[in-house]
Structure 1
Amino acid sequence: MKPNGWIIYNGNLPGSKFIDYAEMIQEAAAKQGSDMKIYKNNALLSLLATDQLGIVQLDKAELPDFVVFADKDIYLARQLELIGIPVFNSSKAIEISDDKIASYQFLASKNIPMPKTIIAPKIFTTGKVDYKLVEKAVEQLGLPLIIKEAFGSFGEQVYLLHSLEEVIAKIEVIQSRPYLFQQFIPSSYGKDLRLQVVGNQVVAAMERTNTNDFRANVTSGGTMKKYTPTKEEATLAITATKAIGADFAGVDLLIGPDNKCLVCEINSNAHIRNLLDCTGINAADFIIVHILEVLS
């Protein structure tokens, strides 16, 4: 008998893309004979006490054999793991992926090609911008440069800045939040590659292009077309996914000088509808097969 599971997505976010991902996973599981129920994260409460560690459910259903966690609520994901339920991706992988600073630290520790990056010192309030700090970052990275907030999705909270004055002005706005400075890769302006990794393979890929924005994200106006990655590009994406401990991920690659790719981001909860529309390949089928193989 195949194991049965839950799919958890964020119940507070607007739009249909989050439930759409959950339904794609549910349909893929049904093809494999595995029954999966869809839950909003706010329908599950984590209960902690001296002699209790559990999940309070609104419908009091039996706990699952495994969970596909299509959200960033790492506290709930960790709670499920603590009571012995396998979670895909793991709470640790989701936590690293969600934090761009942590992601780049793990990539750098594994010598994975990435843009040169400087982490801004953590502060807990706002104040006068440290001009020496900004000048040192510009000296190391040059202009224009990228500033990225540690937390953000769909290409948002990423800024291309062309002058010292622009950099300082942006820092004055975001300085209370964690952020980083990053080398701008002009050869990848408005273009990147999205490779969907599942286990030890790239199951689908697309090239994204935006003629009006330095970000290639489709949500920023980019267009997409099916892409066949080179062996080197596929290996890079798989290695990056493993570096953060994920079972599957959408890996964004920048096109560096001489067409050598650099890892831009690793998305542990990458939406796969655009990938299906672009390539005709449903990554959900591969994700479910991989999970069932891991559990067997």
Structure 2
Amino acid sequence: MIPRILIASDTTGAQTKGLAAKLRRRGAAVATAPLAAIGFDTESLSGLSIPTFGGTLPDAVLVRSVAAGSFEAITRRLGVLHALNRLSVPVWNSAQAIERCVDKSMTTFLLRNAGVPTPSTFAVEGLETAQAVAARELERTPLVLKPLFGAQGRGIRLIRTLSDLPVEEEVDGVYYLQHYIPRAGPPFHDFRVFVCAGKAVAMMSRRGEGWITNVFQGGVPERIEGHDETELERLAIAATAAVGADFAGVDIVAAEDGALFVLEVNSMPAWSGLQSVAAVNIADIIAEALLASLAARSQPDEAARPYRLAAPANS
């Protein structure tokens, strides 16, 4: 059986093309389509309309991106991923994992609940409530304000006084506030660890003249020196498991005293910066792990099925 893999992506950039090439090299048939192109269709056998593989369901879906859109559009696209899961199509990463990682407040809740060290965090609605939190916490440390839904270091600001808090319109009324972790600098450093199928497969240090070190904000990828890679691996694997992701980019920062804290878990991570210093090909690692997971769960008659329905709950 030739595994049919759908890469859900809104772009055909180098990373998406690299994934497709590595999958094809391992014998898979690959198609790429944005989630926006997949519709719900109750007239079809599966209940979905997918413009690939002759309209039949893929054997697995690899999610590279979910494009920005209205609340309704994003809800519908994630609904497609939930439906695929209901149809027993493996989805890397699942809609649930993506939802958990996109919502930073849920990420930090799950990390703390799993015993993974993460900075003290408060997510509240309304400027008055945010001011009350800040008035209390600023006596201990500056705060980092992040967009609840955001990536690549955009929209992050340091809060040192109550007057630094923006008006509600700038943050859609939601204030995600996190204790700032003091660290040596400049230059400043943090870490990105890439986890796939329960293993830490690559990691880097990011160096920046400012305290925001994301590569998209000018951070420079470097090989890690002078830090305990074993502990970085342990934390990254635990963080990925906490959100239920098959693969993830985990951001970790070291405080001045050496203590490590997980800042974020990215369920749709980019890896161009990491690849520049990694000893392995990350796209190849993902392709190998996905196909291995399919092989482990495959059944002889699956290729002939035009659709697959999951068993009802509690059956």
- Is the pair's TM-score, using the shorter chain for normalization, greater than 0.5? yes
- Residue in structure 2 matched with residue 33 of structure 1 by the alignment: 27
What whole-Å deviation, never above 9, does each CA across 1:68-113 have from its counterpart, x for those lacking one?
0112342232232233311111111011111111101111111110
- Residue in structure 2 matched with residue 223 of structure 1 by the alignment: 220
Alignment of 1:108-257 (within 5 A): 108-121=112-125, 129-130=127-128, 133-141=130-138, 142-167=140-165, 170-187=166-183, 190-211=188-209, 213-227=210-224, 230-257=229-256
CA distance in 1, matches of 2:183, 2:247: 28
Structure 2 stretches lacking a partner, 5+ long: 67-76, 296-315
Cα RMSD (Å) = 2.3
The letter of the residue matching 1:218 is: V
Aligned pair count reads 280
Q: Is the 8 A contact 1:45 1:57 kept in 2?
A: no
Q: Is the 8 A contact 1:53 1:83 kept in 2?
A: no
CA distance in 2, matches of 1:273, 1:92: 25
- Residue in structure 1 matched with residue 310 of structure 2 by the alignment: none
Report the alpha carbon displacement of residue 9 of structure 1 after superposing the two structures with TM. 0.8
Q: Is the 8 A contact 1:138 1:145 kept in 2?
A: no
Look up the SS of the partner of 1:278 in the other structure: coil
CA distance in 1, matches of 2:132, 2:36: 44
- Residue in structure 1 matched with residue 313 of structure 2 by the alignment: none
Q: Is the 8 A contact 2:190 2:251 kept in 1?
A: yes
CA distance in 2, matches of 1:175, 1:35: 43
Report the alpha carbon displacement of residue 149 of structure 1 after superposing the two structures with TM. 1.6
- Residue in structure 2 matched with residue 43 of structure 1 by the alignment: 37
- Residue in structure 2 matched with residue 91 of structure 1 by the alignment: 95
CA distance in 1, matches of 2:282, 2:27: 17
What whole-Å deviation, never above 9, does each CA across 1:132-158 have from its counterpart, x for those lacking one?
641333323544211112101111122
Q: Is the 8 A contact 2:119 2:178 kept in 1?
A: yes
Please report the TM-score for the alignment, with normalisation by the length of structure 1: 0.86
Look up the SS of the partner of 2:119 in the other structure: coil
CA distance in 2, matches of 1:284, 1:179: 35
Q: Is the 8 A contact 2:31 2:52 kept in 1?
A: no
> 1:221/1:49 Cα in 2 relative to 1: closer, same or farther (>3 Å)?
same
Give the counterpart of 1:64 among 51, 58, 74: 58
The letter of the residue matching 2:249 is: G
Q: Is the 8 A contact 1:113 1:261 kept in 2?
A: yes
Do residues 105 (structure 1) and 99 (structure 2) align?
no
- Residue in structure 2 matched with residue 15 of structure 1 by the alignment: none
Please report the TM-score for the alignment, with normalisation by the length of structure 2: 0.81
Identity between Structure 1 and Structure 2 (%): 27
The letter of the residue matching 1:186 is: P
CA distance in 2, matches of 1:269, 1:188: 29
CA distance in 2, matches of 1:109, 1:34: 38
Q: Which moved more, 1:83-92 or 1:98-107?
A: 83-92
Q: Is the 8 A contact 1:188 1:255 kept in 2?
A: no
The letter of the residue matching 1:92 is: Q
- Residue in structure 2 matched with residue 14 of structure 1 by the alignment: none
CA distance in 2, matches of 1:43, 1:50: 15
Q: Is the 8 A contact 2:147 2:171 kept in 1?
A: no
